[in-house]
Amino acid sequence: MIRPLAHATRIARRELLALFQQPLAWVVLAATSALLGYAFSTLLALPGIGSAPLLEVQRVLFTASLFWLPLLVVLPLLTMRLLAEERQSGSIELLLAAPVSGGGIAAGKLLGALVFYLALLAPFPLFLGVLATAGRLDLPAAAAGLTGLVVVGLYLLSAGLFASATTRNQVVAAALGFVLLVALFTLPLAAGAIATTPAARAAWDQFDLVAAMDELSRGRVAARRLVYPLTGTLVFTALAAALVERLRGGAGGRARGWGGPAAALAVFALANAAAARGGPAWDFTAARLYTLSPGTAGALAALPAPVRIVSLLHPAGELPADAAVELDAVVATLAAAAPERLAFERVDPLRSPMRLRELGLDPLRESVNAVVVESGPRRRVVRAEELVHYDGALTWDGAPAVRALRAEGALLEAIRAVTRARRPVVRFATGHGERDPAAPGEAGLSRWAELLARADLDVQRWDALGASAVPEGTDLVIVAGPLAPWLPAERDALARFVADGGSALLLLEPVPLAGGGGFAASGLEPLLEAAGLAPRDDVVLDPAHGLPAFGPESFYAFANPRDPLGTPVADMPVLVRLARSLAAPGGYAGAEHGESGDHDHANHAPQGAPRPLVRTSPEAWGETAPGDAARGLVRDGPDSPGPLTLAAASQAGAGRIVAAGDADLFANAAIDQLANRGLANSTVGWLLPDEAPLSVPARERPLARIALTRRETAWVSLGATAGLPLLTLAAAGLVWWARRRP
C-alpha cells in the first residue's frame, strides 16, 4: 500500500514540476483568476445585492455559471496533456517500463492535476475574505462550499484524465474532455426536467452536480451528494488506468487492466443506489439550520400511528428561493429522523396537478407552496408562511426576507394534530346576525371554515340565541360580527365557558346607529372589559396606509413584531376593511401612545394581561363621530391617537380570549390577502391549547448583508479583475528568475 502511494506521489511531483515550468500554465492561472475576478465584481454590481442575505451571496459564489464556466473551459486544457502528451512525445514508455501499475500512473497524474486545480481555486478564499469584511460570513457553510468545489473538481479532473488517456492528440483530448464535462453538468439537469415520474426525477437528482453544489454551499453536507462525484472519480480513474495498462501490450496486461473498471463500476452502482434512498447528512451552518431539537426524534418514534409528509415546497413560490430550498431540506431531515414511522414524498406542484387534487389542493384558487401531513384519513396542510418568520425587509428578488425557519415546530404541531385521539371542536355562534361560516360571498367565512376543516378541526354552528350554556365538547367559540346585541344570559353562558377553560374569538366591528347617534352595542362588552379588551366606540382611519380606490377606513396594519402568540407573520402587513380600536390594557396604558417602545410594553405585560396582536401606524386615529369620516379626514380632541390596538389576546381565568375590532379580518375577501391567513392560523392555534405552538425554537437565519460603499466595491472589483492576474504573473516571473540563477 505504501509503495504504490509513493509511486503516485513521485509522478504527481513530476507532473507539477512539468506544469509550473511551462509559461502556458502561468498564463492559464492568470487568465482564470481574471475571469473569476470579473465574475465576482459582476456579482457585487448586481442590482439589489446590498439587500441579499450574505448566505445567499455565498451560495451564488459557489453555484453561478459565471464562476463555473471559466473552470469548465480551463480544466480540459489542464487535463489534455496528462497522458496524451506522454504518448505523443514517447515518454509514456519510460512510465510503462517503471515498476508502477496503470492505477499508480493514473492516480499520480490525477493528484498532480488536483494540486494545480487547487491553485486555480485560490481566488475563492480571497472572495470569501472580502465577504467576511463586508458582513458576517457563515464560515462553516463556506467551508462546506469549498469542499464541494474540491470534490466536484476532482470528479471533473478524472473525466478529463480519461479523455486524455483515449488519444495521443492533445487537441482531441481537450475537445473530448470539454464535451464530457459539459455533459456531466447538463445531462442530469435536462433528464430530470423531462422526467415524467417522481422516481425518475429523484434518480436523476442523485447525479445532479448543480444541485449538489447548491446543497453543499448552503452548509448541508449530505452523504449522497458526495458519493456520486467520489465514486465517479473512481470509475474514470480506473478506466484511465485500464487504458494505460493496455499500452503495456500482451494479453495479461489487457486482462489485468479491465478488472479495475469492472470493480469500480460495481462500487459506483451499489453506492449510488444506496445513497439515492437516503443517508446521513451533516449540518455545517453556524445557525444549525438543519439540526433537530433534542427530543424530536424520540417524540417521532413514539407516534401512535404512521404519518406521511408530502413536501410541495418549490423555489418558484412566494418564498425567497433560498429559504424554500432550506425549508425543503429541514422537512427531509425531519422525515428521516424516524423512517419507521414517517414516510416522505417530494412532489413538484408545477408538474403534478393530479397529485395536488388527491391532496385536496386547488392551484387555481390558492398557493400550493406547502407541506401536507397525513395520517390515515386525517390531513393537515402547513402553508409556507407558517414555516417561517419574516424579517419585514425585502430580498434582492423582491420577496419578503425570511428571518428564521420554524418548520420543525410547525410540522411537529401538524403531526400531533393528525395523530391525536380527538379533533378539537370549533363552533361559530349564530342567532344575532353573525357572519355565516358557510356563506361564499366576500363577507362570508366559508374560506376560513374550509381552512379550519383542512387543519383537522371539527367546524360546527352553535345557535346562541336564547342559549343558557355552550354545548358540551366545544373547544373554541367564534363570534363574528353580531348585528344584534347578545342578551345577558347568553353572554353569561359564554363567560362561564371561558372561565371553565374554554376559548373565545370575538370579531366585533363598529356598527353605527341610524341617524349618527353613536355605535350599536354587541352585548359582549362586559365580558371583554373583564378581560381587559374593551372595544372603543370609534372607526379607525389610517390614510397614510390606505388602499388604492378604498376609503380611509380600509388600510393595512401590522402584526406585533414581538410575536406574542408565536405567529410566523410578526411585523407583516394585515388587511383591515372596517375596524374599531381596543382600549389600552390596564396597567400599561402608555403602550397605546408610545411609538418606539409600545411593543416592548405590550410584550412585557404582567402574566394574564392583554397582549396586542395587530397595531396601526402612529398616523392612524380612532374617529369617534362616524359622520366626520365622510365629510373629511379631521382628527380632533375626542379621537384616539395612534398607534391603536386592533386585536389583542388575554388569559381570562382558565380560558383564553382574543378580540379584534374587524369582523372582516378573516372573511373571504381578506383571509388570503397579505398576512391575514397566517394571523388566523396562529390565533386559532393559541386559543386551542392542544394546538398551541410547541416549545421548539425557530432557527434564526443569518441575514447579515453586504455593507460596501460604491468606492469600496470599485476597489474590490479592480483588485479582483486586475490585481489577482498581476500577482500570478509576478509569481511566474519569480519562478523564471529563480530557474535562471546558476
Q: What is the pLDDT of residues 334-370, one digit of tens each?
A: 888 888 888 888 888 877 888 888 888 877 777 788 8
- Range with lowest mean pLDDT among 47-51, 347-351, 439-443: 47-51
Alpha-carbon gap, residue 611 to 599, rounded angstroms? 9
Pairing of strands 388-394, 400-405: antiparallel
Exposure string (b/e) for 181-211, b if CB count within 10 Å is 16 or more? Answer: beebbeebeebbeebeeeeebebbbbbbbeb
CA distances from 390 to 53, 311, 537, 571, 701 (A): 13, 20, 33, 8, 10
| Residue from 557, 553, 618, 567 nearest 592 by CA | 618
State mean pLDDT over 373-378: 89
pLDDT of 494: 95
Q: Where are the beta strands (DSSP E) in 548-654?
A: 555-559, 573-576, 611-615, 621-623, 640-641, 645-652
Q: Which residue has the higher pLDDT, 298 or 264?
A: 264
Phi, psi of 318 (to 5 degrees): -80, -15
| Residue from 318, 317, 314, 306 nearest 331 by CA | 314
Q: What is the pLDDT of residues 496-551, one digit of tens each?
A: 999 999 999 999 988 877 666 678 889 999 999 989 898 998 899 988 888 877 77
Give the cell for residue 116: 494545480
Give the cell for residue 103: 492505477
DSSP designation for 722 = I
pLDDT of 134: 67
Q: What is the pLDDT of residues 691-726, one digit of tens each?
A: 555 556 777 776 666 666 778 778 878 887 888 788
- Range with lowest mean pLDDT among 344-353, 395-404, 426-435, 575-584: 395-404
Mean pLDDT, the chain, integer: 82
pLDDT of 78: 87
State mean pLDDT over 679-688: 86
Q: Which residue has the higher pLDDT, 678 or 3?
A: 678
| Residue from 619, 559, 612, 564 nearest 585 by CA | 612
Helix (H) or strand (E) holding 400: strand 400-405
pLDDT of 588: 33
Number of Cα atoms under 13 Å in the Cβ half of residue 95: 29
Task: Out of 99-113, 267-281, 490-504, give the one with best mean pLDDT.
Answer: 490-504
What percent of the chain lies above the pLDDT cut of 70?
85
Q: Which residue has the higher pLDDT, 163 or 23?
A: 163
Alpha-carbon gap, residue 646 to 582, rounded angstroms? 6
Phi, psi of 52 (to 5 degrees): -80, 135
Whether 446 has a pLDDT exceeding 70, the answer reads: yes
- Contact assessment for residue 485 and residue 525, using Cβ atoms and an 8 Å cutoff: no
Whether 261 has a pLDDT exceeding 50, the answer reads: yes
pLDDT of 600: 36
Whether 385 has a pLDDT exceeding 50, the answer reads: yes
Q: Which residue has the higher pLDDT, 218 or 248?
A: 218
pLDDT of 599: 36
* Helix 54-63 vs helix 209-217: crossing angle, to nearest 10: 150
Band (pLDDT 50/70/90 cuts) for residue 291 is confident
pLDDT of 556: 87
Alpha-carbon gap, residue 733 to 389, rounded angstroms? 54
What percent of the chain lies above the pLDDT cut of 90?
25
pLDDT of 49: 66
| Residue from 104, 208, 219 nearest 155 by CA | 208
3-state secondary structure of 679: helix
Peptide bond into 320 cis (omega under 30): no
